[in-house]
Structure 1
Amino acid sequence: MFIETPWTTLLLVLNLLISGYALLVDPALIDRLAFRPAHILRGREYYRMITAGFVHVGWAHLLFNMITLFFFGRPMEVLLGPVRFLLIYFGAELAAHGFSLWLHRNRPMYAAVGASGAISGLLFGYCLFFPFDRIYLFFFPVGIPAVVFAIGYVVLSIYAVQRGVQDGGIAHEAHLGGALGGLLLTLLLEPQALTIFLRQLGL
């Protein structure tokens, strides 16, 4: 299983090691790697656009992201191969942070961490190939079709961004940017994705 998806496995291991080290040994590492618009724009610390995706603010944050990466990253890597998989993952992360950078360019104290943007991109790419697969949230017994979840996800994120809300520390704008980035990259890298999606919708 892990041999078939080496890059998903590596991303899981890196996230667990780096976040685990930061949470247990060196909490200051979270701030040094975090996405901070002021440091990126004024200090030219562009590495933060990537490194922020490898640190998390707590174990629940880390665990939820890694479970999502495990379940959606593996089928995407098998389906698309390692190169396209990595382009979507890191491209979605850059899209997530690029959108956040634009929104929070004048907020010097803003900071964010986590792999949610990159994972959102994989999730939305997955929806193109498997729109009616069931997604189960927080062990809720009734699964939600992937395409319904995706639409609801976008609507909620847009609403939250417009209201400037970050409930529970969730950076909705990063989720939205990553999701749209992953969707567009999947369509670009696999042109048949749209045909597959429309066929499953009966169009």
Structure 2
Amino acid sequence: MRNSVWKDNPVTVTLIAIQVIIYLLMTLAGGSTNPAVLLRFGALQSAALQADEWWRLITPVFVHIGFAHLLINSITLYFIGMYIEQLFGHWRLLVIYLGSAVVGNLMSAYWLPAGISAGASTGIFGLFGAFIMLGASFRENQALRMLSRQFLILVVLNIVTDLMVPGIDLAGHLGGFIGGFLLAYLVGAPRLGRVNVIERTLATLVLVAGILVLFIKVS
């Protein structure tokens, strides 16, 4: 008998449930497109980070601007999250997702200091980055290689769309993607095999250095 979606993917389901609940609370508080409501519920703003509200590096991943934004991100998180949770494990998914959000939001705050941004896409792009890492690290696994190539094409198409459509946080998406790629090396994927020690060390050093540089520039 197949296990339930919740039993197999508790972290993915919980993350989606949290952002749905936050959206409903924002709707009751005045609307998810209201800038004041967005900031009250944890949206990203560079000035707020400089006021030592560093928790905003994580909270924006649960905040969405409008129902369409929530719906698209929830569907995407559901499918990519299940892949990553099964391949990496529960807590590793959470580390990659939230860590990618931190990197993506730092990048966003640096490149778009005057704007307000929110959404799960920084974390979602991080999960895509993690899958690309699997294709690069476990080349002997043909299924992983094929899927990672397909996801890479999807990421490239999304980035092209970001360049053409105004108002989309390209910096946050790129930061999340890079963060997820590097974090995947850091946490490893023991269900699939061992990650090359040299690659893991280099990825960790680049990740730490990048976060420190962005942190200094934003603060």
What interval of TM-score do these two structures reach, taking the shorter chain for normalisation? 0.7 to 0.9
Q: Aligned to 1:57, what secondary structure does the other structure show?
A: coil
Q: What RMSD in Å do the two structures reach over aligned CA positions? A: 2.5
Contact 2:12 2:85 in 1 (8 A): yes
Cα deviation per residue 1:135-190 (whole Å; 9 max; x = unaligned)? xxxxxxxxx82233334555x38x93xxxx7x242101100000000011112222
Aligned to 2:14: 10
Q: Distance in 1 between matches of 2:92 and 2:61?
A: 19
TM-score, normalised with respect to structure 2: 0.71
State whether structure 2 residue 82 is matched by structure 1 residue 74: yes
**2:176 corresponds to which letter in structure 1?**
G
State whether structure 2 residue 156 is matched by structure 1 residue 148: no
Q: Distance in 2 between matches of 1:5 and 1:121?
A: 17
**1:132 corresponds to which letter in structure 2?**
M
Q: Aligned to 2:115, what secondary structure does the other structure show?
A: coil
Unaligned runs of 5+ in 2: 135-143, 197-219
**1:21 corresponds to which letter in structure 2?**
L
Superposed, 1:33-182 pairs within 5 Å as 33-41=42-50, 43-104=51-112, 107=113, 109-129=114-134, 130-133=144-147, 145-153=150-158, 156=160, 160=163, 167-182=165-180
Contact 1:99 1:174 in 2 (8 A): yes
Aligned to 1:140: none
The number of residues matched between the two structures is: 175
Higher helix share: 2
Contact 2:9 2:85 in 1 (8 A): yes
Superposed, 1:21-32 pairs within 5 Å as 21-27=25-31, 28-32=36-40
Q: Aligned to 2:119, what secondary structure does the other structure show?
A: coil
* TM superposition shift of 1:127: 3.1
TM-score, normalised with respect to structure 1: 0.76
Q: Summarize the Cα distance change of 1:168–1:16 in structure 2 as closer, same or farther, 3 Å threshold.
A: farther
Q: Distance in 2 between matches of 1:26 and 1:153?
A: 31
Cα deviation per residue 1:9-38 (whole Å; 9 max; x = unaligned)? 110100000012213443343122110001
Aligned-pair identity (%): 30
Q: Distance in 1 between matches of 2:7 and 2:108?
A: 35
